[in-house]
């Protein structure tokens, strides 16, 4: 697997992270620091994969008016930039990170409006870049102008072209993708517990509930289901063998923003390296844990991530 990993971000964002101590709604809060990073789920995944030393191609739809931050990130990390430029501004997402309790409040602004011409151009570009065996991460929300039904159409084409598709989305987009015929289902999904509950239409308060829901998706045709559970770790249902619960407690995380994206990057890196089972779970959780200590879509040095992977606790479930 020497070809580049491909990330698709249809609705990228510039993430502005503001760190405060003891955030008080409705009051004046003094910011301790502020930083701005090119982001969006697929962009964050691409950035972490590049930090790990893997070849990455990033594509999707990007606002022409404020693309400089993305172009600088791609150039700095050696990420192949195959984004289609669209008229307008890429959205800004504001992240209020409370260092006192390690919580984050998100304020996501509206994104680009995309039309049929840009959609068709994207499909043409992807058809040229994807080969049988390509590894795709399709991550994030849909921009205005693209209805949720577009997602299973895109996944179906990617799979028809021979790609392996890992989907990380939520809400109506995820529901639409999971309602598709078996041939158009993603190979792998990575919801968090809340996103899985939204899809299931019911609470999933226990680990057994989450596992049963993941197995239900497997039976419907999604080969791999990975559910991030916050401080509880992550549930890995990778095949018909026993599921795995992997976790690594972290002291004083700097920001939870992008931890789920780092988990996706770790899954992709592990698959690229042909890791399986416990080894794949360990690396994915290590990516997410390493990211918690950093602002922006970045990983620490490779040896630090590898050290974390050796410390991950893995429990075999039913």
Whether 261 is catalytic: yes
Query: Which listed residue (209, 239, 261, 279) is catalytic?
Result: 261
How many CB atoms lie under 10 A from the CB of residue 120? Answer: 10
Integer angstrom CA distances of residue 45 from 11, 57, 78, 185, 260: 14, 11, 14, 21, 9
Q: Which residue in 101, 95, 82 sits closest to 19, CA to CA?
A: 95
Catalytically active residues are 261
């Amino acid at each position: 697997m020497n070809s580049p990993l491909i990330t698709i971000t249809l609705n990228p964002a510039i993430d502005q992270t503001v760190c405060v101590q003891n955030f008080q709604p409705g009051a004046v809060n003094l910011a301790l620091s502020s930083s701005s990073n090119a982001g969006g789920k697929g962009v964050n995944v691409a950035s972490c994969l590049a930090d790990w030393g893997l070849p990455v191609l990033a594509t999707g739809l990007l606002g022409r008016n404020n693309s400089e931050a993305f172009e600088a990130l791609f150039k700095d990390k050696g990420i192949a930039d195959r984004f289609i430029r669209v008229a307008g501004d890429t959205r800004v997402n504001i992240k209020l990170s409370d260092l006192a309790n390690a919580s984050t409040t998100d304020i996501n602004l509206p994104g680009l409006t995309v039309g049929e011409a840009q959609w068709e151009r994207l499909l043409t570009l992807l058809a040229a870049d994807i080969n049988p065996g390509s590894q795709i991460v399709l991550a994030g929300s849909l921009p205005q102008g693209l209805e949720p039904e577009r997602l299973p159409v895109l996944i179906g084409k990617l799979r028809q072209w021979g790609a392996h598709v890992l989907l990380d989305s939520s809400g109506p987009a995820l529901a639409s993708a999971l309602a598709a015929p078996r041939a158009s289902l993603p190979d792998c999904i990575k919801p968090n517990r809340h996103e899985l509950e939204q899809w299931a239409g019911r609470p999933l308060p226990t680990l057994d509930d989450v596992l049963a829901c993941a197995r239900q998706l497997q039976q419907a045709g999604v080969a791999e289901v990975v559910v991030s559970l916050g401080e509880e770790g992550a549930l890995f249902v990778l095949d018909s063998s026993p599921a795995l619960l992997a976790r690594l407690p972290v002291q004083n995380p700097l920001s939870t923003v992008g931890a789920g994206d780092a988990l996706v990057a770790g899954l992709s890196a592990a698959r690229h390296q042909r890791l399986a089972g416990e080894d794949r779970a360990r690396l994915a959780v290590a990516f997410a844990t390493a990211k918690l200590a950093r602002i922006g879509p970045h990983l620490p040095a490779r040896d630090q991530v590898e050290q974390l992977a050796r410390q991950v606790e893995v429990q075999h479930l039913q």
